[in-house]
Structure 1
Amino acid sequence: MSSVKSACIVGAGIAGLTAALALARKGIAVHVLEQAPVLEEVGAGLQLSPNASRILAGLGLLDALAARWSEPERILLSSGHALAPLAAVPAGVFARKRWRAPYGVLHRAALQAVLLDAVRRESLCTLTTGRRIGSTEEALAAAPADLVIAADGVWSRLRKDVPGALPAHYSGTVAWRFLVPYGAAPPFLDPCAVTAFLGPQAHLVAYPLVEAQAFNIVALHAQREAPAAGWSRTGDAARLLDAFSSWHADIRRLLAEARDPLMWPLFECPDGAWTDGRRTVLIGDAAHAMTPFAAQGAAMAIEDAALLANTLAHPSGTAEALRQFEATRRERVARVRRRGTFNRFAYHARGPIALGRNLVLSLRGPESLAGDLDWLYGYRIPD
């Protein structure tokens, strides 16, 4: 039987709510503390790859999610200069068959709403909003528990309570997001695909959000100087247009006509400690915030939550459980980071390197490209 009978989770985002559900299903009582008075998820779209949707299905959430998402037929890589396709990975029905779980895209708020509804229906879960927590001691004073789980994001306040944990730093990339209603969408936006348009020092991702009846657009480009930290802020749109100045005219027009694009600098956490081995553990962005070049930020948080619950359910003692959790997750997260670093290099390549990338992609078939993702999308959390 687990030595952890209760847990206090700080943060009611995707990581915190998933952890609450996963722990409750193992018989562990959970109290979630959230600083916001009302839960409103920031951001717009979200990709849930099969490694994440498999876990959510195991928590009984797949039907609720399927009612609010779409499953794209393919993941496309296309030229930002010519709008010509470079490669495609099949998804849709193919994803369910190959990786035994769906690949879905939805609004972040939709995922949070599904998780929140499940948490509120779970008898072992308690949620308190409007409670700002700045330390492990404050968390335990507000909700006494055997363990504090810091799921308070990239700017975690509890990170300082874990010796060896390192603060987040600016990645050198900024991202802009906005929505384009279906009725105003240009023809090159494919409603059946997640499309990444590639170009020098920049790329743009587009996919449909069925609930919003709009395409989610995320434009990412390199920027040496760090803007002020934050999720949703207006930026200098001239910088956005300048970063894509050499791209196809249709994409430049899409960016120029964007309504109220929001900019956020991308921060990431170095490879520091995630637990004090005793009473505090970091999960999700609080532990290992990463740039979105592998589209795995939310998926890694969901995996963290599931593995932590599985590990704490073993009768090995809290210290050993936290050691095993960190060791197992560190190896997995490091591999995902390496994939993201590779994608950034490939997506933002220029000149001869970009030509070589395009040639290699042209020689790879869809099944071959899908096989490269088996380690990522086919991953199963150890029991």
Structure 2
Amino acid sequence: MRAIVVGAGIGGLAAALSLRRTGCEVTLVEQAPRFTEIGAGIQLAPNATRVLRRLGLLDAVAARATRPSRLSFRTWSDGGEICHYALGREAEGAFGGPYLQVHRADLHQAMAAAVPPESVRLNTVVVGIGQDDKSARVTTVGGEHLEADLVVAADGVRSSARQWLFGVDEALFSGTAAYRALLPAGEVAGLGLPEYAIWLGPGRHFVHYWVRRGELLNVVGVIGTQAAQESWTARAEPGEHLRAFDGWDPRVRDILGRTGTVLRHGIHTRAPLARWNIGRVTLLGDSAHAMVPFQAQGAAQALVDAAVLGDCLVGAAPSDVPDALDRYVSRRLAAATKVQASSARAGEDYHLPDGPEARARNARLVAQAAENEFGPHAGAWGIDAFDEQQASQDAVTAAVERPGDDGGARPKPV
């Protein structure tokens, strides 16, 4: 079996590694000329770390990560704790994998190191995807045609492959933007910060946690706004982030006041699809289900996609690929779409105005802490993507149909 994976982000690397575990020959195609350290903190809940263990990467990632013991929800104005939830050993014991907080570059580096260099084609821009009954192919900007038995498009929230497969479908601005920064531990010493906290306020929220074994504090301030550029490298205007959190608890202001470079990232999503695959081509990760990050599940869902994709292709022959991709989508689409929706609701809940709505939200959080020590984010952590009964239920929910025999719905060669 031969596969081409388009995009070498977290989802694409996970797909390449998962497919290689099945014995598949993989070519990983990435438009960037080199792998660089981009992004900041990322959270890996137990459903993500169970996949990393399956891929043989958990120890390498955990060695560079931080393991928080708890999550604290706080009020915006005075920092009073609303409630807290257990992580640490309790979550690992309950869900079979640790909860890790890691620099995205450290995760990416560990994954990239596990892919043989000869399987990676950097500086290669894909301009089209095509297929017939026997093979799939990608066309590069230089006019080269790369052929395989299947193509996995993991080309991110701005996925071109998604449009080639299903027509014009732009990324959707979520109405929120994130200020992001990393601070050395020495810069925030003495502030008395909780190790991992989410501060809730009208129209915005603030998150901080440690990465790189506690060497760096990852800071994210999310605001509601009418427009923002979707970019991991765009810088905020000087003082903009401080003005956005004017009047907040002094600790939040102190953190923001000590930041150096602050990036401003417009948060975009994709509308749910009725299917992710056509014939021998499928979407994976953000190209299929980009979501707001308010349940810290974007990377986790891409990792689970990759693991299930590999599982569905175990023992498959090239002629079995369309059926195998149908099984992959039927096992993943409903679950990922559910997480998309719940993440969006979490963001709305975080930004409620002061008054009766915020008080009711706080009461819900306290009640959840009493009923479930792991809190509102844990709904997806224990779902076993390899439970066949669950997969069967997802298949009914997703109702994925095969393309017609006339091939009219299939992408055309470029």
Name the counterpart of 1:177.
180
C-alpha displacement at 1:90, in angstroms?
A: 0.7
Of 190, 193, 213, the residue aligned with 1:189 is: 193
Name the counterpart of 2:292.
291
Of 101, 104, 110, the residue aligned with 2:100 is: 104
1:346 alignment partner, SS class: helix
Distance 2:82 2:292 in 1: 23
Name the counterpart of 1:134.
127
Q: Are 1:88 and 2:84 an aligned pair? A: yes
Counterparts of 1:29-178 in structure 2 under 5 Å? 29-120=25-116, 126-137=119-130, 139=138, 141-163=144-166, 166-178=169-181
**Given the two structures, how large is their TM-score scaled by the length of structure 2?**
0.84
Structure 2 stretches of 5 or more lacking a match? Answer: 131-136, 389-414
Number of residue pairs aligned between Structure 1 and Structure 2:
373
Counterparts of 1:1-383 in structure 2 under 5 Å? 5-120=1-116, 126-137=119-130, 139=138, 141-163=144-166, 166-185=169-188, 187-190=191-194, 193-210=195-212, 213-224=215-226, 226-272=227-273, 274-313=275-314, 315=316, 317-350=320-353, 351-365=355-369, 368-370=372-374, 375-382=379-386
8 Å Cα contact 2:275/2:333 also seen in 1? no
2:19 alignment partner, SS class: helix
C-alpha displacement at 1:211, in angstroms?
A: 5.2
1:372/1:215 CA distance change after superposition, 3 Å: closer
Distance 2:187 2:229 in 1: 32
1:134 alignment partner, SS class: strand
C-alpha displacement at 1:134, in angstroms?
A: 2.0
2:34 alignment partner, SS class: coil
C-alpha displacement at 1:234, in angstroms?
A: 1.1
1:59/1:199 CA distance change after superposition, 3 Å: same
Q: Deviations over 1:326-350 (max 9, x none)?
A: 2322210122122212211221111
C-alpha displacement at 1:311, in angstroms?
A: 1.4
Deviates more, 1:356-365 or 1:338-347: 356-365
1:93 alignment partner, SS class: helix
**Given the two structures, how large is their TM-score scaled by the length of structure 1?**
0.91
C-alpha displacement at 1:369, in angstroms?
A: 4.1
Distance 2:223 2:375 in 1: 28
C-alpha displacement at 1:164, in angstroms?
A: 5.2
Name the counterpart of 2:402.
none
1:377 partner amino acid: W
Distance 1:108 1:181 in 2: 16
2:336 alignment partner, SS class: helix
1:240/1:372 CA distance change after superposition, 3 Å: closer
Give the CA RMSD over aligned residues.
2.1
Distance 2:174 2:367 in 1: 32
1:365/1:163 CA distance change after superposition, 3 Å: closer
Q: Deviations over 1:303-361 (max 9, x none)?
A: 11111111122548222222222232221012212221221122111121111222333
1:238/1:372 CA distance change after superposition, 3 Å: closer
